[in-house]
Amino acid sequence: MNSLRAKERKELYDTEMDHPFVILPEEQAPEALQHCECCELSKQRTRVIWGEGNPKAKLMLILDNPGAREDREGNSFLCGTRETLQLGLREAGIDTNSVYVTYLLKCRPMRAYNKPEARTACLPHLQLQLLQKQPSVLFGFGNVVAEAIFPQKENASVKELRGNWHEFQGIPISFTYHPLAVRRRPNLLRFFVEDLKALKEKWKGRSTPHT
Ligand code: SF4
């Protein structure tokens, strides 16, 4: 990252000094899936990460895969993706207690793997979560999630899908940039926050403030 970007990023995150980022509580995977071996990521992961945040929240956010959760000493660690996600949520006025964050892939990749196979293998886990949790609104981050959710769409990219509402398993879904893309390119923050504000409006229209 060049010095200008580093400076911009520092200023951006310094504005959050009064509102420290938090490590959201992790939700354990259902017992039957804690040892899932449906794809080769089972040989790379430390554990299956089902999701984090409020497990009863009706606002479900979907990232591509879990990031680092512990540092080398085993202490809880807030990765850049989750930090930028929380920055966006706060800028949009969405309380972190109101969201449940999950992943397209429930295992953290540590090295190269067959991506299409892993995404196909893990999608049923996300579909199971939707059936169990019945969220009222879904929101995906980044092209990988968009492509996996809409494999039949020719241009299933964030650029094509953001700004409009679509449907997945009967639930409204929209998309924005991946938090890491926003972190690398601070000029995307404006669009990121704009999309999250639209999410807030949609969610408010479909549920009570505590759901
Ligand atoms: S990524 Fe998903 S399908 Fe693959 S092993 Fe992990 S939980 Fe199972």
Return the higher-pLDDT residue of 112 and 75. Answer: 112
Report the separation in Å between the CA atom of 137 and the middle of ligand 1, taken as the mean of its atom positions: 24
42 lines ligand 1 (CB under 6 A): yes
How many Å apart are CA 188 and CA 44, to the nearest integer?
A: 32
What's the token pair of residue 75? 């202490």
Domain assignments of the chain as residue spans, ordered by start: 22-205
What pLDDT was estimated at residue 66?
93
pLDDT over 90 (residue 110): yes
Question: What residue's CA is closest to ligand 1, atom 4?
Answer: 39
User: 177 Cβ partners below 8 Å, 6+ apart?
Assistant: 141, 142, 158, 162, 188, 191, 192, 195
Mean pLDDT rounded to a whole number for the chain: 90
Within 10 Å of residue 134's Cβ, how many Cβ atoms? 11
Question: How far from each other are the two terminal CA atoms of the chain, in whole angstroms?
Answer: 39
39 lines ligand 1 (CB under 6 A): yes
Report the separation in Å between the CA atom of 40 and the middle of ligand 1, taken as the mean of its atom positions: 8
Main-chain phi, psi angles of 167, to 5 degrees: -140, 135
Partner residues linked to 83 by β-bridges: none
141 close to 63: Cβ distance less than 8 angstroms:
yes
189 lines ligand 1 (CB under 6 A): no
48 lines ligand 1 (CB under 6 A): yes
126 lines ligand 1 (CB under 6 A): no
Report the separation in Å between the CA atom of 49 and the middle of ligand 1, taken as the mean of its atom positions: 9
Confidence band for 68, pLDDT divided at 50, 70 and 90: confident
pLDDT over 80 (residue 152): yes
What pLDDT was estimated at residue 206?
85
Share above pLDDT 90 across residues of the chain, in percent, rounded to a whole number: 78
Confidence band for 2, pLDDT divided at 50, 70 and 90: very low
89 lines ligand 1 (CB under 6 A): no
What pLDDT was estimated at residue 13?
62
DSSP tag of 40: G
Mutational test site, ligand 1, from 31, 34, 39, 115, max ligand atoms within 8 Å of CB: 39
pLDDT over 70 (residue 147): yes
Query: What's the predicted TM-score (pTM) here?
Result: 0.91
105 lines ligand 1 (CB under 6 A): yes
Confidence band for 137, pLDDT divided at 50, 70 and 90: very high
pLDDT over 50 (residue 62): yes
Question: What residue's CA is closest to ligand 1, atom 2?
Answer: 122
Fold of 22-205: Uracil-DNA Glycosylase, subunit E (3.40.470)
pLDDT, tens only, 18-49? 567 899 999 999 999 999 999 999 999 999 99
What pLDDT was estimated at residue 3?
41
Report the separation in Å between the CA atom of 2 and the middle of ligand 1, taken as the mean of its atom positions: 36
What pLDDT was estimated at residue 70?
81
